[in-house]
Amino acid sequence: MRTSSAADERRLLIGVVIHGPEVVDTGFALRAMEWLEGHGDVVAVLGGTMGRVAVIDAGLADRIDISRRRSPSQSVQDLQHSDLTVLLNHAKSRETGIVFGAIVAGRARPANPLIQADSGGRFVAALSNPSDLSNAIAERLASHFGFEILDACVTDDNMRQEGDAIVRRMSGVLPGERISVNGTVIGTATDTCVEIVARDGRIVGARGIDLKMHGLEKLPHVDLRSAILRSGSVRRTAGMLKPRLGSMRTSRNGRFAIIDHAAEDSFELASDASFVITIGDDTTAIAGDVLSRLGIPVLGIVDGDLDGICSGLVMPEGSVIVRVRAGNDDIIGKAIKSISENRRPASLDEALDMVREAAGDRIISVIRCDGR
């Protein structure tokens, strides 16, 4: 008679990396985690700003760790002590899902087995280090959800060198979609084949994109190899879940943050602030949507050139939007940054007074938001 050893009795430790808001909004992340919990102990983490918002809206913040902003590949590396890791995402198409999995696996190179389950492309693939155990889990997972088992695309060939320039290709792009780099829109896709060219940390050209020079000017130094590239909306499934809005902060602790075209960093930049000054239309829209879950009001400086990557988003209660003449949001934003170095407003209303002084007759309107 065979006796069980401690190793036999130990439950599997399954790491789960959840990427993007769509896989949460559609409910697949929760269903997949519940299924995996029937096969072992699950530790789930998430990276990315809008994914955090979706987790909060879904009421899953106690089951999915959103405490740190980590890329999918970094999260996979963090979980390589588990018996296997499952990457959950909801890509726009099977093609983009396969490419995404290849990129994550190529960057992470985990020591343990890595499986991808894509509810958008409806497939499961073993990305690296397959074992009898991980193959069995992958097959059962695919069968349970009616997905197809695919051979992993292990080659991450979306990057190449051309002389002293780096060229990065984007997949699954639709003509007419806005293209953003680290949250800043740089143009509109004119083709399904899109490539971005960078040299010495600056984007110097593109193929398949009608470039927006004003957007390029806003970008600081860019590491194109690790930059977050996005086509289309930041949350394609916005509206599927009711926003869980936080109660408005009323503290006058004098702590505030300025977010200038870095809306993806809103959680980190504003975690201890009583209010936030945002510069730019898309930045204000995205940061406002994120901060509405924390109850942190924003003072947004915009000029009406919203790029349409953030439809369906909400603003925190108590926020104020200052619309200025076209092309002036960045100029006034720089002035506010300079003024705030020596004069620190203790409240949003004091900051609004500063904006009025800096903008003068360039202000078109001032709108107060009630959080809806």
Please report, in tens digits, the pLDDT of each residue of the chain (372 residues total). 334 444 445 689 999 999 989 999 999 999 999 999 999 999 999 866 678 888 998 999 999 999 888 889 999 999 999 999 999 999 988 888 998 898 899 889 999 999 999 999 999 999 999 999 999 999 999 999 999 999 766 555 688 889 899 999 988 788 998 888 877 888 899 998 899 999 999 999 999 999 988 778 777 788 888 888 888 776 666 556 565 666 555 555 568 889 887 667 777 778 788 899 999 888 888 888 888 888 899 999 998 866 554 455 678 888 999 999 988 888 998 999 898 888 888 889 999 999 999 999 999 999 888 644
Alpha-carbon distance 347 to 328, whole Å? 23
Q: Do 294 and 247 meet the contact criterion of CB atoms below 8 Å apart?
A: no
- DSSP secondary-structure letter at 344? -
pLDDT of residue 37: 96
Q: What is the pLDDT of residue 341?
A: 85
Tell me how far apart the alpha carbons of residues 50 and 228 are, in angstroms, rounded to a whole number: 13
- Quote the CA–CA distance of 184 and 202 in Å, as a whole number: 13
Residue in 261, 367, 255, 368 with CA at minimum distance from that of residue 318: 368
Picking from 117, 76, 70, the residue whose alpha carbon sits closest to that of residue 98 is: 117
CB < 8 Å & 24+ apart, contacts of 169-174: 169/193, 169/194, 169/195, 170/194, 170/195, 170/196, 170/229, 170/231, 171/95, 171/96, 171/99, 172/91, 172/92, 172/93, 172/95, 172/96, 172/99, 172/231, 173/208, 173/231, 174/231, 174/232
pLDDT number for residue 7: 40
* Cα–Cα distance for residue pair 88/20, rounded to 1 Å: 9
Complete DSSP assignment for 30-60: HHHHHHHHTTSEEEEEEESHHHHHHHHHTT-
Tell me the whole-structure pTM to 2 decimals: 0.81
Instruction: Please tell me the predicted confidence (pLDDT) of residue 1.
Output: 39
The residues pairing with 117 across neighbouring beta strands, listed in sequence order, are 88, 124
For 10-150, CATH number out of 1.50.10.10, 3.40.50.11220, 3.40.50.300, 2.40.30.10 equals 3.40.50.11220
Q: CATH 3.40.50.11220: which residues of the chain?
A: 10-150
